[in-house]
Structure 1
Amino acid sequence: MALELVLATHNRHKVDEFQRILGAVVPELLVHGYDGPEPVEDGVSFAENALIKARAASEHTGRIALADDSGLCVDVMGGAPGIFSARWAGAHGDGAANLALLLDQLGDIRDPHRTARFVCVIALAVPDAGAGSAEHVVVGEWSGHLATEPCGSNGFGYDPIFVPDGFAVTAAELAPHIKNDNSHRARAIANLVPLLRDLVG
């Protein structure tokens, strides 16, 4: 029996990515895009924002819904930019400005104090699960440290300055399949798979 769910994003590429990754391990899974209204992400954590999006998509479509929220957490900055990673420099999605601002803010910080981690939280909202709806949250983290200048072109966002633990190059210098196998999103998805298999039955 096929398990159909909606991914709370208007980004078709992300829908295709989730279908490819999840479909490889849960063949019964069909991931649909979401064309409904986008909720206000006013949570104060990755988990809260992911749940806000998953709930909204589930309520709008009546289907099981997935949503993710992710970002970079720098230890010496108390976990910032965190949930503000995509708009750290003010304009949402301006990756170059975000990266430049973060490097400037860390200008006087040297190793071993440049540790950081990428965090991805995936929320799953299941409507009509017994007495109401059920919600689940899984987390994936990718630890490393931050280089002092960007390097590499195989990534986006903060990838050009993030050097994962166990590697001597940035995430943007890794081959795409290596990055995809090790990333915070891959780790979160791995933690999600048992939940989806339970839903398939």
Structure 2
Amino acid sequence: MSTPVKTDEKSRVVIATHNQHKFTELKSTLSELPFEFLPLTNWSQAAVSETGKTFVENAVIKARYASQRAEVPAIADDSGLIVHLLNGKPGVHSSRYAGEYATDEENNNLLLERVKAKRKINEPVKASFVAILVYIEHADDARPIIAEGSWQGSIIESPRGASGFGYDPLFLPLDSDLTVAELGPSVKNRDSHRAKAARNLVHLLSDRLKDRS
């Protein structure tokens, strides 16, 4: 049984990711919280198996693993792209759509290939990014805080832009003429699914900390 870790203004919190881009993005969007954020790579280079069938299940799995390894509270995210034309895929398999160790380019190429095979001429390919953020105080925490965010848009026919990562070069947000990779980090950190989930988490976690003060 893990020991609950007290969270005060100098508490360290591990962010359960090995992806430096994601760590930087989450650290920025969660900056209102009174924590020192550290990457999981400080304690472990190994990734936990994401065996969940939903974004929530996978985020909880990652948070528990990170908290167990670091012995501090943890925040984990699970996020992905949902393409309606593909019946919700790639979904929870977004980061490994083209294989366990697939690159972003390989995932993007497979997505475009499968969209092209199903898409009707001039049919918009509606899609959404979904993010779940989970905060736990210790590995056995029975009351995780769960926050969600989504970003609506569509998939374009070929990659555009050099910023961001993942499917950013293919995702055109609603009411935008630029892909996420063209919009840049400042807009992404304000409008993205992960940014919305982070704001929700900040609100929920701030309320919990306030209740204890």
TM-score (norm 2): 0.82
Corresponding position of 1:151: 160
Aligned residue for 1:106, secondary structure, equals helix
The answer for unaligned runs of 5 or more in structure 2 is: 1-7
Task: Please name the residue that 1:31 is paired with.
Answer: 37
Segment drifting more, 146-155 vs 4-13: 4-13
Cα 1:18–1:148 change in 2 (3 A) is closer
1: CA distance, partners of 2:175 / 2:86: 23
In the other structure, the counterpart of 1:126 is 137
- Tell me if the contact between 1:72 and 1:80 (Cα under 8 Å) persists in the aligned partners: yes
Moved over 6 A (4+): none
Deviates more, 1:61-70 or 1:115-124: 61-70
Q: 1:135 and 1:44, CA in 2 relative to 1: closer, same or farther beyond 3 A?
A: same
1:17/1:180 Cα in 2 relative to 1: closer, same or farther (>3 Å)? closer
Residue 113 (structure 1) shift: 4.4
Q: Structure 1 residues 11 and 85 mapped into 2: Cα distance closer, same or farther (>3 Å)? A: closer
* Matching residue's letter, 1:19: K
Query: Cα RMSD over matched residues?
Result: 2.2
Could you tell me which of 18, 38, 60 is aligned with 2:26? Answer: 18
The 5-angstrom pairing of residues 56-67 of structure 1 reads 56-67=65-76
Tell me the alpha carbon deviations over residues 94-114 of structure 1, each in whole angstroms, 9 at most, x when there is no partner.
111111111111114145441
Distance (Å, rounded) in 1 between the aligned partners of 2:139 and 2:193: 30
The aligned counterpart of 2:5 is none
Q: Any conservation in 1 of the 2:25–2:189 contact (CA below 8 Å)?
A: no
Deviation at 1:91, TM superposition (A): 4.3
Decide whether the 8 Å contact of 2:145 with 2:205 is kept in 1: no
Provide the rounded CA distance (Å) in 2 between the counterparts of 1:13 and 1:97: 18
The aligned residue for residue 119 of structure 2 is: 109
Match of 1:168 among 172, 177, 193: 177
Q: Note the alpha carbon deviations across 1:7-45, whole angstroms, 9 max, x for none.
A: 11234554444333322x22x221122214532211111
Residue 101 of structure 2 corresponds to residue 92 of structure 1: yes
> Paired residue for 1:184?
193
Q: Which residue of 2 aligns with 1:198?
A: 207
Equivalent residue letter for 1:29? F
Equivalences, count: 197
Can you give the 5+ residue segments of structure 1 that lack an aligned partner in the other structure? none
Moved more, 138-147 or 83-92: 83-92
Q: For residue 26 of structure 2, what is the amino acid of its counterpart? A: F
Instruction: Say which is worse superposed, 177-186 or 7-16, in terms of deviation.
Output: 7-16
